[in-house]
Amino acid sequence: MRAADVSSDITEVLVTEEEIRAKLDEIAEQVAADYDGRDLLLVGVLKGAVMVMADFSRSLKKHVTMDWMAVSSYGAGTKSSGVVQIRKDLDTDILGKHVLIVEDIIDSGLTLSWLLENFEARGAASVEVFALLRKPEAAKVEVHCKYVGFDIPTEFVVGYGLDYAEKYRNLRDVAVLAPHVYS
């Protein structure tokens, strides 16, 4: 669905489907060049990164392998708890591998800094991050995110994989959720 189909639930479209596609192509070209001659494992963080992973991996003009991890740092609400829990671990041994973590959004950065440390401890040859969206708060925590799609304001957003209480993931655009929906 498009933002117009659920217009009473959102206040503003921040990034359109078309803008996302163009950005993914641009970053895919950069990633293909950066990893030229090296095997690359994409690790998607469930569930938010499903759409990014699907489109980004197909934009890449390079063979890759894929794995998934599910972690949670959020409860049912819209604020990070700071506690990261593994809900589904990798199926792959990442020892000696070049890993690119594919994330939907970096908010506080807590999830990512935890994941980076965790992956390095498993002996990955390299670990980099691609986040489609980044909120300014992310700058407060020390996380090195090599590839960023869009910097967005500090507002709760939904769409393109991002949910509120499991809804809105199938929205094609990224939009700001109207406060009346969650307050």
CB of 91 to ligand XMP, least distance (A): 20
DSSP β-ladder status, 174-177 and 157-158? antiparallel
Q: Which of 113-147 are b and which e, b meaning 16 or more Cβ less than 10 Å from the residue's Cβ?
A: bbbbebbeeeebeebbbbbbbbbeebeeeebebeb
Using CB under 6 A as the binding rule, the residues of this chain from 9 to 48 that contact ligand XMP are 45, 48
Using CB under 6 A as the binding rule, the residues of this chain from 89 to 108 that contact ligand XMP are 103-108
Is residue 158 near ligand XMP by the rule CB under 6 A? Answer: yes
Question: Closer CB to Mg ion, residue 48 or residue 159?
Answer: 48
Q: Which amino acid is at 181?
A: V
CA nearest 68: which of 94, 38, 96?
Answer: 94
* Number of shown-chain residues binding Mg ion (CB under 5 A): 1
Which residue is closest to Mg ion by CB?
Answer: 48
CB of 30 to Mg ion, least distance (A): 26
Is the peptide bond between 47 and the residue preceding it cis, with omega within 30 degrees of 0? yes
**Site of interaction with ligand XMP (CB under 6 A):** 45, 48, 73-74, 80, 103-112, 156-158, 162-164
**Site of interaction with Mg ion (CB under 5 A):** 48
